Amino acid sequence: MISQSTFVTRASFRRGQYELVLLGLLFTLLMTGCTALGPDFEKPEVSTAASWSAKDEALSDEPRVQVEWWKAFNDPVLDTLIQTAYQQNLPLQVAGLRILEARAQLGIAVGNRYPQVQQLNGSANRVRLSEKSPNFNALTDDSYSDHRVGFDAAWELDFWGRFRRSIEAAEASLSVTEADYDNTLVILTAEVARAYVSIRTLEEQLALVRSNISLQQE
């Protein structure tokens, strides 16, 4: 004969097993949720040739990038024109402002990983009993001070990797804006130098034409 207490013990044991299973499932879901949203970015592979099909011996394989390449001409006028273009070109200024905006967005994205709500408060009170109060005592100082300081902070845990992905996106956006600025800078410098060289070439041609006219007149 099975007593009632035996059934109670078995029911409690099964309930405990059921609760353990639920806790295990909940823990698994939480651990899965801690992974970042979406797969990590992988740079695509681009198939390129190991070397040029027809190599020029006069060319060097080592990178020699000179940022201020126009200074090789030793022309102060060209230097001044390019410097003026840097200061007054609107597309270049817009590209620079976009970099500042992208940096601000990156700062906001990084800040989301820290407490979003921060509050520091305090108060100070000085209380003195009235002379008409029944508890007033003229022989003692019936006054007291009350000082209070409090601090509150709250933030959202990045269980799902949303903040992490937003930081990665902001960093990528910043890289894009910086590349766009560099591209605008290169195009601007090339256009100014090309226009200046064209003007100098036309001036030399005009001088030759005038010289020929003078010789023919003589």
Q: Residue-wise pLDDT tens for the chain (218 aa)?
A: 444 444 445 545 455 565 665 666 655 555 544 555 666 767 777 777 776 666 666 666 666 657 788 888 899 999 999 999 999 999 999 999 999 999 999 998 888 877 666 666 766 676 665 555 555 555 455 566 666 766 666 666 766 778 888 888 899 999 999 999 999 999 999 999 999 999 999 999 998 888 888 888 87
Query: What SS3 class is residue 38?
Result: coil
**What are the Cα distances from residue 137, in Å, to 78, 126, 143?**
90, 17, 10
Residues in the chain: 218
pTM of the model: 0.58
**Which two structure tokens, joined as six digits, stand for 121?**
């408060």
